Structure 1
């Protein structure tokens, strides 16, 4: 909060290439060391398998340049074959009946552990591809690291993450075929900033993943639960917190990237093709000042709660007045044990309808998430319980899917109200705070729980409902 983000290192694939993004060194190490991903408490994730075992043997990876014929390249080959089929169908429908043109340069698998391995086009040596995948428009090729990227993603986030990465790179090939050439980017960089092109590629990847999840692919399959770990990979490959959205090579923060993916998943390639600087707003932004950069962007737990309590009450009062209702400030009870004031387990913060209070566990899970993720993990969970009180004030349902979505939407709308505040000592979101919201929503269902403790099963659904309010404000939450 208050504009104090955490800085991590980064590097970008240079010039002519368009990459999925590069994890910071610290996060890349975490990838290698960890073989598991965050799981939602009480909810089982999918298997992470996306390849139909009866079909994978049909893909001969020898069409991939420099392939070793191993399991990773079989997986990559299976993915790109279905991505090609998707665009054979989707490209003419999206771009005035123009036929899809296959990549003239093909695909390259790179053994970045071998100093003598051949380098793919657009690079000087194999190690240039380490930890990355990219599309090179001048050679019209897609290349990937089969040693330090794809197997690591598969092991931690499941096969769907490999699908997402390669579909993103194909999205850049789509852009070139749609007329977004290197010369066009150079001549009008304000119209084609890097972050816009990356957002569009994320959107195209989302449209492809939806096609797979709808059962239309020849070789791939996907249950919805397997999407959550893949989205966690997008969080990993976000830009370093504090990166300006105008920076060369910017891909977007986690909120921007997941938003673009969900837009493609929900609305298809036509919307993706129409993304422009005129209709796309990005939340990524730089530090406010050196103090913000130095202090890391996170307030201590007690300070966060104290400032949040004052601010969110003012927000609720203002918004309910517009709706012709009166906001009664609830008592925020700080408790040591898990709140037990409702019919079900709402998690470490609970709205208590009998006396219209909000119970908050000051030790345990909430404080741990504050430390592990950041202060807007706390803000997202706590604001969702105030959202439940807003729903009660408006005589809206407090249980069931509508209540769950509405609580998330209101929480998102409150976050939006904090996003563009400026000035000294102003309670506002810092760079990276919306990413913290995405992380807590993907990993935990606390912000979505209704009075009975029920919530949407997938992080994808939770982020989508939160994003409605975070993008379009309270008017989009259908509370009137």
Structure 2
């Protein structure tokens, strides 16, 4: 799905082809308690101060459905899911808006509209719903609407019912902006990217409350449940190559996840602080007019690609003083570490052994005929980079096992991504440089269950996807020095 806005009257989510099928999220999760973590800290044992819990997530059982008057609804499961979501999100904002913004009152939206995009269209926000596979908030009539025919069933099938909660929590984030007025730092001239980043952040606020067990109709585990929410955001980003200055821009997956995490970690006031200068400092979207060598998708096992990757890694970590590890294809025995295909680091001989077939599967672009399961070149390169990062840690005398090692690995891999954005480590006239969509490939891979990007030398990944992304972001934005300082 790609979001777009019609002027600044509404937020609209538009479906695009899904590039992979993920496991479903369903059932109930345990109630967890905790306290907010200090800004800038990453605790591997918690998710922003909440204990890491695993288990199914989604609608609670045995809870009566909320009662809201829905226009054009059919009373089916999708409408019930939407109504229960809206009721819980509005309950949250009725409590939190006055508490965080000087007594500002949150009034429920005036209209709730259900429609079937496959049926005859009705008019919402001056737009026909015929063929409109969307969910949206419209400030013209203060309404929230959803497509029960295609959008909600597809989200539920691919990602679980909790993904619908995220989408509608985002839409109601726009209702929050309307109620805050000037306090939201939104004006008629504000680019849509800022409106959407704030809405993602406000959705993160609600999910914090949900994760604390306070939602009447829904629960979510802070481990695998929240990991799947972050993964889902990979599929509701802007199209590859989009420009954040365009009307309707929502941001890359990395940018959207960042905004969501700000909200989950820091609260509603942080969301209202998102403005254009703040976003421009951390934006990662790369337009298609980028002329870097990898603006497309490189063959990951090609000699030129490997040479460029090695040069990029050496240049990134040159100041660390680490002896660059040797990269070679094939498996090898190692006395002090387990094999972790598609790439394995052996500390005793400072060698990275690469499984070309497994790496090629990751590096294959999504949807390419005859092959499946891949995310793209930068995802595969990040797997190798993660093992290279272990050599950097070894040189610094740091432990290569355990959660701290996994977080340092994610952080250092992120620092390599930041360096690649600048095109470091040229080979002749060429350099491995971030192209459109590349960073999102790495983030999608980072969130996979068996990803090495946030794993220790034996391939044990950090349990919390939330912490994985935070560590990667620190390295990407602050560089490798921040990694040793924050994850000793």
Q: Which residue of the partner structure matches residue 265 of structure 2?
A: 266
Displacement of 1:467:
1.6
Match of 1:398 in 2: 400
TM-fit CA distance, 1:209: 0.7
RMSD, matched Cα: 2.8
C-alpha displacement at 1:173, in angstroms? 0.7
User: Aligned to 1:59, which of 62, 66, 69?
Assistant: 66
Q: Secondary structure at the match of 1:161?
A: helix
How many pairs were matched up? 441
In structure 2, the partner of 1:22 is 14
Per-residue deviation at 1:341? 6.0
TM-score normalised by L of structure 1: 0.85
1:445 maps to what in 2?
451
1:379 to 371, 381, 389: 381
Cα displacement (A) at 1:421:
4.1
Shift of the 259–11 alpha-carbon distance from structure 1 to 2, 3 Å rule, reads closer
1-side partners of 2:477 and 2:22: how far apart? 34
- C-alpha separation between the residues in 2 aligned to 1:49 and 1:127? 32
Alignment of 1:49-448 (within 5 A): 49-55=57-63, 57-60=64-67, 63-103=69-109, 105-115=110-120, 117-119=121-123, 121-127=124-130, 130-179=132-181, 185-186=187-188, 189=189, 192-224=190-222, 225-280=224-279, 281-288=282-289, 297-301=296-300, 302=302, 303-318=304-319, 320=320, 326-335=321-330, 337=331, 342-363=336-357, 365-371=358-364, 372-421=374-423, 425-443=430-448, 444-448=450-454
Deviation at 1:180, TM superposition (A): 5.4
Give the whole-Å Cα distance in 2 for the aligned partners of 1:58 and 1:356.
Answer: 59
Kept after mapping to 2: 8 A contact 1:398/1:450 = yes
- In 2, Cα distance between equivalents of 1:184 and 1:466: 30
CA positional deviation for 1:474: 2.0
Matched position secondary structure for 2:277: coil
CA–CA separation in structure 2 for the residues paired with 1:265 and 1:16: 25
Contact 2:184 2:272 in 1 (8 A): no
For structure 1, the 5+ residue unaligned runs are 1-8, 39-44, 321-325
Contact kept in structure 1, 2:3 and 2:237, CA below 8 Å: no
Q: Secondary structure at the match of 2:78?
A: helix
Task: Measure the CA separation in 2 of the matches of 1:405 and 1:429.
Answer: 22
- The SS at the match of 1:447 is coil
User: Structure 2: how far apart are the matches of 1:226 and 1:211?
Assistant: 14
**C-alpha contact 2:138 2:144 (8 A) present in aligned 1:** yes
Deviations 1:337-389 (A, max 9, x none): 487665334331111011111111122x2110001211110221111111111
Mapped contact 1:112–1:145 kept (Cα < 8 A): yes
- Give the C-alpha shift of residue 184 in structure 1: 6.2
Structure 2 distance, partners of 1:185, 1:378, is 42
What's the CA shift for 1:234? 1.7
TM-score normalised by L of structure 2? 0.83
* Residue 413 to residue 21, structure 1, CA distance change in 2 (3 Å): farther
Task: Assess if the C-alpha contact under 8 Å between 2:2 and 2:237 holds in 1.
Answer: no
**Uncovered stretches (5+) of structure 2, i.e. residues with no partner:** 26-52, 365-373
Q: Give me the whole-angstrom Cα distance separating, in 2, the residues matched to 1:428 and 1:437.
A: 14
Instruction: Report the Cα distance in structure 2 between the residues aligned to 1:183 and 1:83, rounded to whole angstroms.
Output: 22
Structure 1 or 2: more helix by fraction: 1
3-state SS of paired residue (2:439): helix
Following the alignment from structure 1 to structure 2, what is the Cα–Cα distance between the partners of residues 361 and 50?
37
Offset, 1:13: 4.6
Q: Report deviation, 1:47.
A: 6.4
Q: Secondary structure at the residue paired with 1:134?
A: strand
CA shift for structure 1 position 310: 1.4
